[in-house]
Amino acid sequence: MRERAVRVGSPAPLVGVISEPDDFQSLKPAVLILNSGLMHHIGTCRLSVKLARSLAHMGLMSIRFDFSSIGDSEPRRGSKTFQESAPLETIEVMDYLNEKRGIKQFILFGLCSGADVAYDTAILDSRVVGIAQIDPYCYRTPRYYLNHYRQKLFDINAWTNFISKKIQLLSKQINKKDEAFFEELTSYRIFPPLNDIAKGLNQLVDRRVRLNIMITGGEYHYNYSNQYRDSLKDKVNFRDLLTLNYYPESGHIITQPKYQKLVVNELTQWIDDMGKVIKE
Amino acid sequence: MEPLYFGSSQRPLYGVYHPAEGSEFRNEAIVFCCPFGQEYMRSHRAYRQLAHSLAKAGFHILRFDYSGTGDSSGDMEDFTALDWLEDIEQAINEIKDMTGTVNISLIGLRLGGLLAGMLSSRQKIHRLVLWDSINSGVDYIKELKFEIVSKKNIVDLDVDNYVDDEGSMFFNGFSFTPRFLKSIEQLSLFENTSCSNTLLQVVSHENQKSDQLKSKLIQHGNFDYIHAACPGDWNYVDEVGGMLLPQPVMRAIVNWLS
């Protein structure tokens, strides 16, 4: 395995790192590892690096890169929002790998805002044959509400938390001047209407795009294993294309070592299996 | 801005080189020594902006990841703090080769400050900037262990911080092996910062530790101290990976170096 730092596109190139296996084969799909929020391309707790190296050991090439103005990539001029520019930049990176290495199929992986970009890009570009998403768009169901309120009503911790969060909110208002020193994504994550997502997912299913969905306990819209399927029950027939895992004890940015390993292993195995299926 | 891998082929290090811009030729290159763990994640944007400002002011800049961290090769289990000191030397050699510059300065934040100070006792460093620096490895470990104990019972905290039976420490999603912890215990700015340096200590929050370091470093002939008040909670971790941009400190460093 070897790694190279690359600059992709112009006039302000996107910066990334390609992890290339010793036995590189351009027939296998390459994996694009996308930014999560403002975290640069090493990913949360170095998850993207660990995933890239694990994939390389299975003979799969990947690139982890920064969208413009994130991490090591310079800002680009223009009036596009992040939601508009990020899928186009992802396509630019796919074009680069296609041109330089002859790769024709791609798998996209992203967490949180990266998951959203993976979905948006897959809709736009038919070279995408699979997307792996951690905490993607997800929607509440009647069973979610039942679980949620049943648990809250009788949980003393929930009441304590409610009060302490109100206090925290108050102290945040008092310390508003401190906000000038923090940087968070300026575009807040808004879940599109469920019907729009269902329509997009149906397009992907029709193209036989495979989906690996992982939901963590940090996703507050979610509280039971099969909620993703249930929320789309009458709208999308995933056939054999959906792999769904729920990790209620994992935080959103997967700081726990146990879950870091689990996520890397799950994704590596799924992508490797997918590569084999596509080759066949 | 040029991303690159440098160093030996067995242990390549990832770095980003910012070439000097503008008409002023300073004949000075600066190597950035980063902190570790979430502190590294949280400071990445600040380091990039600082590098950009200093490059505009005519300095060559190289920021890089230590072995086993960021995009550099290997895993944390394979390295100690002594390897990281070698990495800083490697980065110094790289920027000397790239630019032909003789005067090399170091900027170190938190653990990076401790490592930069340690290195200044090994080789000639033109100027040294210690930013919210850790005073010693023992202090650092104590601080992290205190955080582990004090946050143990906070409900809804997305982190799992603990020391396991073998002595490995897990903190905010990153791990320290017993071997690494032992190596870091040997480091201290009180014994090792070279007196030949021109030195700046810059702090975002004054406290007992920063005062202790100040009283030690003030004995140096060429010492400056700046308190640029702004948030400096480097170890805070939130669910969106929010970053810290302490502009007053960054401005103070650029002004002092320029």
**pLDDT tens digit at each of 258 positions of chain B:** 999 999 999 999 999 999 999 777 789 999 999 999 999 999 999 999 999 999 999 999 999 999 999 999 999 999 999 999 999 999 999 999 999 999 999 999 999 999 999 999 888 999 999 999 999 999 999 999 888 887 765 545 456 788 888 888 988 889 999 999 999 999 999 876 665 678 999 999 999 999 999 999 888 778 999 999 988 888 877 777 778 899 999 999 999 999
* Rounded-to-integer distance, Cα A149 and Cα A39, Å: 34
Partners of residue B231 in chain A, C-beta under 8 Å: 178, 181-182
Q: Does A41 touch chain B (CB under 8 A)?
A: yes
Q: Does B240 touch chain A (CB under 8 A)?
A: yes
Separation in Å, CA of B193 to nearest CA in chain A: 30
Out of A40, A252, A256, the one facing B160 most closely (by C-beta) is A256
How far from B193 is each of A169, B42, B105, B217, CA to CA, in Å?
43, 26, 14, 8
Please give the pLDDT value at position A184: 56
Partners of residue A38 in chain B, C-beta under 8 Å: 45, 240-243
* Rounded-to-integer distance, Cα B224 and Cα B222, Å: 7
Please give the pLDDT value at position B177: 94
Q: Cβ separation of A41 and B71 shorter than 8 Å?
A: yes
Partners of residue B156 in chain A, C-beta under 8 Å: 161
Please give the pLDDT value at position A174: 47
Partners of residue A66 in chain B, C-beta under 8 Å: none
3-class DSSP assignment, residue A11:
coil
Please give the pLDDT value at position A198: 97
A85, pLDDT greater than 90: yes
Q: Which helix (H) or strand (E) holds B142?
A: helix B137-150
Task: Tell me what the mean pLDDT of segment A168-192 comes to.
Answer: 62
A185, pLDDT greater than 60: no
- Contact between B117 and B95 under an 8 Å Cβ cutoff? The reply is no
Which of A182, A250, A258, A264 to substitute to test the interface with B, most B CBs within 10 Å?
Answer: A182
* Rounded-to-integer distance, Cα B159 and Cα A260, Å: 12
Q: Cβ separation of A44 and B4 shorter than 8 Å?
A: no
Please give the pLDDT value at position B238: 74
* Rounded-to-integer distance, Cα A97 and Cα A32, Å: 10
Please give the pLDDT value at position A18: 98
Sequence-distant (≥ 6) Cβ neighbours of residue A140 within 8 angstroms: A221, A227, A231
Kindly report the number of other CB atoms within 10 A of residue A162's CB atom.
Answer: 10
**Whole-prediction pTM:** 0.91
Task: Tell me what the mean pLDDT of segment A215-224 comes to.
Answer: 92
Q: Which helix (H) or strand (E) holds A19?
A: strand A14-20
Separation in Å, CA of A22 to nearest CA in chain B: 15
- pLDDT averaged over chain A? 90
Please give the pLDDT value at position A264: 96
Separation in Å, CA of A279 to nearest CA in chain B: 30
Task: Tell me what the mean pLDDT of segment A41-49 comes to.
Answer: 96
Hey, what amino acid is at A24?
F
Separation in Å, CA of A50 to nearest CA in chain B: 9
Partners of residue A251 in chain B, C-beta under 8 Å: 158-159, 239
A62, pLDDT greater than 70: yes
- Angle (CA) A218 A224 A229, round 5°: 105
Buried b (16+ CB within 10 A) or exposed e, B139-163: bbbeebeeebeeeeeeeeebbbbeb
Q: Dihedral (C-alpha) A33, A36, A42, A45: value to the nearest 10 degrees?
A: -120
A179, pLDDT greater than 80: no
Please give the pLDDT value at position B160: 74
Q: How confident is the model at residue A164 (pLDDT cuts 50, 70, 90)?
A: confident
Q: Does A45 touch chain B (CB under 8 A)?
A: yes
DSSP H helices in A102-153: 113-124, 142-153
Question: Please, what is the end-to-end C-alpha distance for chain B in angstroms?
Answer: 20
Residues paired with A106 in a beta bridge: A30, A128
Task: Tell me what the mean pLDDT of segment A252-271 comes to.
Answer: 93
* Rounded-to-integer distance, Cα B206 and Cα B132, Å: 9
Query: Strand ranges (DSSP E) for B59-203?
Result: 60-64, 103-109, 127-131, 162-163, 169-171, 174-176, 198-203
Q: Cβ separation of A182 and B245 shorter than 8 Å?
A: yes
Interface of B with A in 114-173 (CB under 8 A): 155-156, 158-160, 170, 172-173
Separation in Å, CA of B245 to nearest CA in chain A: 5
Percentage of chain A surpassing pLDDT 70? 91
Place of tokens 């395995």: A1
Number of helices and strands in chain A (H, E):
8, 9
Separation in Å, CA of B217 to nearest CA in chain A: 28
Please give the pLDDT value at position B152: 62
Please give the pLDDT value at position A167: 74
Does domain B2-136+193-257 fall under CATH 3.40.50.1820? My reply is yes
* Rounded-to-integer distance, Cα B109 and Cα B34, Å: 6
* Rounded-to-integer distance, Cα B245 and Cα B243, Å: 7
Residues paired with A182 in a beta bridge: B244
Task: Tell me what the mean pLDDT of segment A117-139 comes to.
Answer: 97
Tokens standing for residue A66: 């920064």
* Rounded-to-integer distance, Cα B48 and Cα A254, Å: 25
Pick from A10-19, A63-72, A189-198, B145-154: least confident? B145-154
Q: Cβ separation of A255 and B160 shorter than 8 Å?
A: yes
Question: What does the domain layout of chain B look like in residue ranges?
Answer: 2-136+193-257
Partners of residue A3 in chain B, C-beta under 8 Å: 5, 12, 14, 71, 73
Please give the pLDDT value at position A182: 59
Please give the pLDDT value at position B61: 98
Kindly report the number of other CB atoms within 10 A of residue B86's CB atom.
Answer: 17
Residues paired with B170 in a beta bridge: B162, B175
Residues paired with A63 in a beta bridge: A18, A32
